[in-house]
Structure 1
Amino acid sequence: MIKNYIKTALRSLFKNRAFSFLNIAGLAIGVACASLIFLWVQDELSYNHNFEKHNSVYTIYENQTYEGKISTFHATPGPMAKVLKAEIPGIKTAARTTGGDGDELFALGDKIITEKGRFADPEIFSILKLPFVSGNATNPFQQLHSVVINETMAKKFFGDINPIGKTLKVNNEQEYTVTAVFKNLPKNSSFQFQWLAPMANIDHKQPWMNIWGANWTRTFIELEPSANLTSVNQKLQHFIADKTKKTNTTVCFLFAMNDWNLRDNFVDGRMSGGRIQYVNIFSFIAVIILLIACINFMNLSTARSEQRAKEVGVRKVVGAGKGKLIGQFISEAVIMAFIAVLVAIGLIYAAMPSFNNLVQKDLGVDIVAPAHLAYLIGIAVITGLLAGSYPAFYLSSFNPIAVLKNIKIKSASGTGLIRQSLVVMQFSVSIVLIIGTIIIYQQIQHIKSRQLGFNKSNLIYINLQGKQVDQFTTVYNDLKQTGVVADAALSDNPALQIGSNTDNYSWDGKDPVKNPLISWQNVSPQFLSTMDMKLLAGRDFYNEAALDSNNVIINEAFAKQMGKEGRIGGIIRDGSKKALAITGIVKDFLYNDMYASAAPLLLYCHPAGTSVLSIRFKNGTNLQDALIKTGAVIKADSPGYSFEYQFIDDDFNQLFKTETLTAMLAGVFASLAIFISCLGLFGLAAYTAERRIKEIGIRKVLGASVSGLAGLLSKDFLKLVGLSCIIAFPVAWFFINNWLQSYQYRVTINWWVFIISGVLAMAIALTTVSFQAIKAALMNPVRSLRSE
């Protein structure tokens, strides 16, 4: 019997090739799209799951209150990790690392490469349980000058030679011995370091590195299996305040590894979303696309089934029972759904490289994985059962005598209304996605076109290593001699990334209760001119940095914070009560957060100890030529160091990485949702034209024009799309408005976006339906009426 069902189903598929193609294509595309999104979601949700202890690993965050607003930071004092285990029950292990994956220069003979990594305490290996492939996995930091590297770094320097025991020179200063090699960390890991070296090499370099009042290191801990998180947080809350013996507003808490990627956005000291918002959004989109595809499949299946009434009548006359007919129709739908799923699998594999390039991941699909297999089989079975149930029970109930006598069979009650409702639902969702895509794109462009307060074009920066800072004067003069460099300057950080510190700044008239968060940066005298910033009052730093050792330049926001003392000649005192004179006020420029207003900023003229060299090329310069000449200068004046640069433009675009990805994915999947909906609309238009073929023939005989007939067949569908617009507009406004609320600097939702989206949807629907309508209107009426 099953063999007969399969044979009949395949015969029906080949007999109605166009209909079968539309039905299978729509479901296959929907399943493939949803599957790709779910793979992305799965990757995001499994972030850091490569670490064996991901459920018990935390990092310490701090909430600090400034001007009544709570700000959240991940930097902690240097001495903190050493005393946590002894003083707070439940903490199994604690370790420090430097704040992020920093650049250090590694050299082996003539091979000089900058690699990203961290200095860390040896306890970090117990916490992370790195997958070592060779070397001392138990205690890799037995030596002070030891380094642990990943497989890629080992391959770069040593090829196929065993690197254990070999040495690499770091920053042209110290030889470090390779003691272990670990497997490359996956992309869906918060840690992306290529090397780790003992923290003991650097934690004594500055006096503030070992005091409780300075935050500079990341602190990671592992909790005991029996530990109570709430209890640990309560004891940790005022840990720093107790150590400093000062009344301050610093509150510490544990932030779980499982949340680092998904929920790392904090507003006023509380967790407020993050990438989890986008995971939820795209999970919803995946479900909606899958739903549209399934609706499409069911809609076309039920619409087409009514054309098989005579077949049912004949089968009943020759003895087919109702049960066999039900089994036949359901099996046909399920077989068609399985074919669609098989096609979808092919589409997934074909689209995977492009999708990975779009989302910048290395996703893979394992069809035989239980979860993936259950998902695909479930879609095929459920969709097939739902699509086949209507024709199975409805058609199997026909009176064979009535059918074979050509007596018109009435459609089941409400069938037309249900079919129309499904079309409205499909296009409503598609219109919402179109509107969302437009608004997201507008928001990104709105921020990108915002005045930064400096010129980011033709601007690069280099992370300096070792003693490169000492060569600045020579490098600067030689860069100017190239003819392609307009200016160059030193600073602690790139222009878009500036650190913050209260440093207990004070001035006359300051409210002693208030302790505002102040950003600061050490720079060389050329900083403002290199950044192309505008001085509003006063003067720039002198070319001789020593002349401005007691002077500072502040921005507008800081001047407003100071009130009447925020003027040229005003005095600011730092934590050591040293008096600093304001010599200039610079126009506000944006950094760190592109969506917020400019924060108070102070610039010191202290080039010694800085670590970033910014270089501005002259306008109209050929960038490739400029980079070649600049690289030659850097290598000549700093032998043994590499020339590795970064464009500020690229850093700026990286700040919108998530939003840009959202816009691209929303646009792609909105287009596919429209396409799937149009496949269904195309099939329904063909079905409608076929049902009204005699009516069209009569109207043509009576003088109806082709355009009139095309309009007659199209208007019903356009009404449905119009109703979709009415439903979609308020829904889209509600969701998009809520999404925009998370941005301080945001675009206004304009009415014309809805008009454009509606007109676009109407135009697409009209184009889809018109093809079938015109085809039916052009048909020879003699052929459609000859049976009468």
Structure 2
Amino acid sequence: MFKNYFKTAWRVLVNNKIYSIINILGLATGMAVVMLIGLWISDEVSYNKYHTNHERLAQVMTTFIDQDNKMETAFDVCAPIGDELRNKYGSEFKNVSMASYNFSHVLAVGNKKIMGRGMWVEPNFLSMFSLKMVDGNIDALDDPSAVLLSASLAKTLFGNESAINKVIKVDDEDNFSVAGVYGDLPGNSSFYEAKLLLPWKKFVIEKWPRFEHATTNWNFSSFQAFVQVADNIDMQKETEKIKNVVMAHKNAAADEKEQAYVFPMDKWRLYSEFKNGKPSGGRIQFIWLFSLIGVFVLLLACINFMNLSTARSAKRAKEVGIRKSVGSARSQLIGQFLSESILVAFAAFICSLIISVLLLPLFNKLSGKSIGLPTDNPGFWFVAITFTVLTGIVSGSYPALYLSKFKPVKVLKGTFSTGRFASLPRKALVVVQFTFSIALIIGTIIVFQQIQFAKSRPVNYKSEGLIAITFTNPGAERPFDAIKQDLLATGAVENMATSSGPITEVWGTETGFNWQGKNPNYVPTFGTLRVSRDLGRTIDWKIVEGRDFSKDFATDSLSVVLNESAADLMGIKKNIVGQSIQFKHKNYTVIGVIKDMIMESPYKPVRPTIFFYDPNFVNQVIVGIKPGHPINDALSKIESVFKKYNPGEPLSYTFIDEDYAKKFSDEQRVGNLATFFTILAIFISCLGLFGLVSFVAEQRKKEIGVRKVLGASVYDLWQMLSKEFALLVVISCFVAIPVAWYYLNNWLQQYDYRTSISFWIFILSGLAALIITLITVSFQAIKAAIANPVKSLRTE
């Protein structure tokens, strides 16, 4: 029986080539979209699942609360929190590990020097995160002279030789002995880029000379803390238990203004956005968004199948009548029609594999991933085949039920009629198709408008022509005055300055500031940056009150510059210049206020930041290239100067405007993917529309011939065939616009700095959909209108 079903189904497909191609191509495109989205979602939800204990691992974060009870949660914690958790809550945490952020380092083995990224971590970090040792000892970081390498980094440095006990010089300063090699982490691990693990004790005791006693300093937050909770511990309840662990050491009895938060590893990737001290979303919204897009795109393809199958019902009516008259049951007819749709689905599945392979390079580029089809995974084939069968059943269910209910007596007597309202379901499905397509067009425009809105926000410094050169050994003495003179002498450089961190991030946050009139129970947190006196002139920050750092004032070593947000946070509305700020037992004088520079997210308020004059602690050198000077020539001259003073360290630099542009990467990626899926959705919708117009034109071929003989023009005939579909698109606009506005307006609420939704976006999207529809319809409409009426009427 089934063999006969599929044999008949194959004949139907072969005898109706155009409709078969449209159905297969539409379904194949929809299935390819679902396949790509499925692979993307699989990669996202499997993030950090490599780590065996991922369900019990977490990062301790800090929620800062300002005087208006606004909360901001950050990854930064102070160094002593690790010992505090171990000593006071040891039974609730199996492991606690402090760590630095992932920094770049110069690694030297003999004459070979390369750049490698790595973290300073406590010894139990490796066992916590189930790093797999290829060679050596997993507990080796108890020794402050030991280092652990990833397998790929070990191969780069030592080739096929064993790396164990080999000596590496790090940052041209300290020699470390390789005590272990661990297997490279997968790309969907948060620690993928950490190829080097260094001993934490050496880091906090010897590598931070500017911040003495880091292990006991509760006011300096610039580190990371990771924990493995005990099996019976609920992380949310544990947060409530330890939230005051920092404030207990800050003598702020009345108001708790800094709270610890236990953030589970399983939420790191998808729930990275915080609001009011709680995870409020993040990439999870993209998971839901693209899941919804995948379902609807596949639904569009299924609608095409339904529409074309039911539109051709008159042609299949006699077949149904004859089958029923010779004894076919309705269930058998349903089985026949479902076998046709399943056959189409499997043909579409094969095509979708080809389409997916062809689109994967573009998709990976847009999504920033390196995904491949897991064809060697049996689970993939099981899911794919099950999905294909379900797609065939869904797309063929309505036509099967519709066609199988025809009455054989009416069909064979020639009195069968599809009815006046038979086309209504098809029209409704076309409205659904274009409603979704129009909503996607609106969404894509608004995403890009939000990106452009944030890009147009004043950054309040000059980012063009600035490069940031990162040093791997902060605090080391270097002849920066001589370097600056040589750079200026090249003729390619306008200015140079140093800082303790980048100007596109806030690496350090500190508390412990006091000033006249401050509530003694209020513990505000400020971003801090230590700079040389020329930073303001190099990046051209905007002074709104007071003055900049200057060599003409010897007292600037005890002076600070505030941004506007810091001045507002202090609550001193007038005459803030000259005010005194107490910090670490020193009195600093406010000499100036600058406009808020966007150092972090362009979608959020600017963090209150204090700039100290301190040319001794340097993480980065900011170099301003002269306007109009060729970039390649300038870089060559800059590199030669730095090699002169530090020949052993490769020059590691980034363009500041490119660093700032990366802040839009997530939204840009969403916009690009939305554009990609919108194009495919419109293609599927137009494919179905093309098939329907082809059928309508064929069905009304004699009517068109008669009208043409009676004097109808090509324009009249085109208008007759086009207006019905144009009306459906107009109806789709009225459905899509309020739905799109509601969801996109909610999406924009997550941004503090956001665009407004203009009405022209809806008009433009509707016109775009209408024009695309008319172009699609016009090909077949004009073809039918210019056909020779003799051919259509000669059989009458």
1:712 equivalent among 720, 724, 727: 720
Deviations 1:377-418 (A, max 9, x none): 33332332344344445444545565456x252226854211
Deviation at 1:364, TM superposition (A): 2.3
CA distance in 2, matches of 1:741, 1:537: 33
State the TM-score, normalizing by the size of structure 1: 0.95
Quote how far apart the aligned CAs of 1:688 are: 1.2
Corresponding residue for 1:484?
492
- Find the aligned partners of 1:313 and 1:782 in 2 and give their Cα distance: 33
Q: CA offset at residue 86 of structure 1? A: 4.0
Q: Look up the match of 1:10.
A: 10
Q: How does 1:631-642 map to 2 (within 5 A)?
A: 631-642=639-650
**Equivalents in 1 of 2:260, 2:85: separation in Å?**
12
Output aligned runs, 1:485-634, within 5 Å. Answer: 485-499=493-507, 501-543=509-551, 547-562=555-570, 567=575, 569-634=577-642
**Pairing 1:367-382 to 2, within 5 Å after superposition:** 367=375, 369=377, 371-382=379-390
Three-state SS of the structure 2 residue aligned to 1:222 is strand
Structure-2 change in CA distance of 1:159 and 1:49 (3 Å): same
Identify the residue that residue 439 of structure 2 maps to in structure 1. 432
Q: 1:238 maps to which residue?
A: 244
1:676 aligns with 684
In structure 1, the residue matched to 2:199 is: 198
> Aligned partners of 1:414 and 1:215: how far apart in 2?
70
Q: 1:400 to 1:94 in 2, by over 3 A?
A: closer
- Correspondence for 1:180: 180
Deviations 1:426-484 (A, max 9, x none): 10000000001001101101111211010110111111133765221121111111111
Partner amino acid, structure 1, of 2:649: Y
- State the SS of the aligned residue for 1:163: coil
The corresponding residue for 2:467 is: 460
Within-5 A mapping of 1:220-235? 220-235=226-241
Instruction: Say if 1:313 and 1:173 are closer, same or farther in 2 by CA, change over 3 A.
Output: same
Q: Supply the distance in 2 between the matched residues of 1:754 and 1:570 (Cα, whole angstroms).
A: 53
Structure 1 residues 524 and 600 mapped into 2: Cα distance closer, same or farther (>3 Å)?
A: same
State the 1:545 CA deviation: 8.3
Distance 1:393 1:601 in 2: 68
Would you say the 8 A contact 1:559–1:566 is kept in 2? no
**Native 8 Å contact 2:247 2:258 kept in 1:** yes
Q: More displaced, 385-394 or 155-164? A: 385-394
Partner of 2:392: 384
1:70 to 2:77 alignment: no
Deviation digits for residues 158-195 of structure 1, max 9, x if unmatched?
A: 12222122111011111111122222222211112111
Answer whether contact 1:98 1:216 (CA < 8 A) is retained.
no
**Preserved CA contact (<8 Å) 2:220 2:508:** no
8 Å CA contact 2:545, 2:577 repeated in 1:
no
Q: Is the 8 A contact 1:119 1:197 kept in 2?
A: yes
Change (3 A) 1:581 1:12: same
Query: Aligned runs of 1:300-311 on 2, under 5 Å?
Result: 300-311=308-319
Q: Pairwise mapping of residues 128-143 of structure 1 onto structure 2 (< 5 A)?
A: 128-137=129-138, 139-143=139-143
Once the two structures are TM-superposed, the CA of residue 294 in structure 1 deviates from its matched residue by 1.5
TM-superposed CA distance for 1:203, in Å, is: 1.5
CA contact (8 A) 2:103 2:472 kept: no
CA contact (8 A) 1:488 1:613 kept: yes
Q: Distance in 1 between matches of 2:628 and 2:661?
A: 22
Task: Give the superposition deviation at 1:89.
Answer: 5.6
Task: Report the alpha carbon displacement of residue 324 of structure 1 after superposing the two structures with TM.
Answer: 4.5
Cα distance, 1:628 vs structure 2: 1.1
Aligned residue identity for 1:27: L
Q: CA deviation at 1:654?
A: 1.2
Is 2:121 the counterpart of 1:120?
yes
Counterpart in the other structure of 1:255: 263
In structure 2, how many angstroms separate the alpha carbons of the residues matched to 1:495 and 1:34? 41
For 2:157, the equivalent position in structure 1 comes to 157
Task: For residues 260-287 of structure 1, give each alpha carbon's deviation from its aligned partner in whole angstroms, at most 9, with x where no partner exists.
Answer: 1111111121221111111111111111
Matches within 5 A, 1:18-29: 18-29=18-29
Q: Answer yes or no: is the 8 Å Cα contact 1:521–1:603 preserved in 2.
A: yes
Task: Out of 580-589 and 15-24, give the one that drifted further.
Answer: 580-589
The residue type equivalent to 1:177 in the other structure is S
Q: Which structure 2 residues correspond to residues 308-387 of structure 1 after superposition, within 5 A?
A: 308-313=316-321, 324-367=332-375, 369=377, 371-387=379-395
Alpha carbons 1:682, 1:769 under 8 Å: kept? yes
Opposite residue 418 of structure 2, the aligned amino acid is S
Distance in 1, Cα, partners of 2:770 & 2:568: 53
Cα distance in 1 between the residues matched to 2:212 and 2:357: 56
Task: Quote the offset at 1:50 in angstroms.
Answer: 0.8
CA contact (8 A) 1:90 1:232 kept: no
Structure 2: unaligned runs, 5 residues or longer:
none
Q: Could you say what secondary structure the match of 2:312 adopts?
A: helix
Mapped to 2, the partners of 1:41 and 1:780 lie a distance apart of 53
Measure the CA separation in 2 of the matches of 1:569 and 1:84: 41
Equivalent position to 2:452, from 445, 454, 460: 445
TM-superposed deviation, 1:223: 1.6
Q: Are the counterparts in 2 of residues 93 and 123 from structure 1 also a CA contact under 8 Å?
A: no
Deviation at 1:352, TM superposition (A): 1.7
Looking at structure 2, the residues matched to 72 and 319 of structure 1 have their Cα atoms a distance apart, in angstroms, of: 72
Whether contact under 8 Å (2:559, 2:589) holds in the other structure is yes
* Structure 1 position 410 matched with structure 2 position 395: no
Shift of 1:323: 5.2
DSSP-derived class of the 2:417 partner: coil
User: Any unmatched runs of 5+ in structure 1?
Assistant: none
Answer yes or no: is the 8 Å Cα contact 1:149–1:178 preserved in 2.
yes
Q: 1:299 corresponds to which residue? A: 307
The answer to whether the 8 A contact 2:511-2:523 is kept is: no
Cα deviation code 1:657-687 (max 9, x no counterpart): 1100000011110111111000001111111
Counterpart Cα distance in 1 of 2:331 and 2:45: 45
Query: Aligned-pair distance for 1:95?
Result: 3.1
User: Is the CA contact (8 Å cut-off) linking 1:94 and 1:219 kept in structure 2?
Assistant: no
Q: Could you tell me which residue of structure 1 aligns to residue 39 of structure 2?
A: 39
Q: 1:53 maps to which residue?
A: 53
Q: Are residues 171 and 652 of structure 1, via their aligned partners in 2, closer, same or farther at CA, if it must alter by over 3 Å? A: same
Structural mapping, 1:632-671, within 5 Å:
632-671=640-679
Alignment of 1:163-174 (within 5 A): 163-174=163-174
Deviations along 1:526-573, whole A, 9 cap, x unmatched? 100111112233332223785421222223333444555753751222
Q: What SS does the aligned partner of 2:65 have? A: strand
Answer whether contact 1:489 1:523 (CA < 8 A) is retained.
yes
**Aligned 8 A contact 1:298 1:383 in 2:** no
Partner Cα distance (1:565, 1:634) in 2: 44
How far apart in 1 are the matches of 2:450 and 2:717? 44
What residue identity is the alignment partner of 2:132? P
Question: More deviation in 474-483 or 579-588?
Answer: 579-588
**Alignment CA distance shift 1:368-1:321 (3 Å):** farther
Number of residue-to-residue matches in the alignment: 786
With over 3 angstroms needed to count, the CA separation of the structure-2 counterparts of 1:176 and 1:566, relative to structure 1, is farther
CA RMSD of superposed structures (Å): 2.3
Find the aligned partners of 2:332 and 2:362 in 1 and give their Cα distance: 45
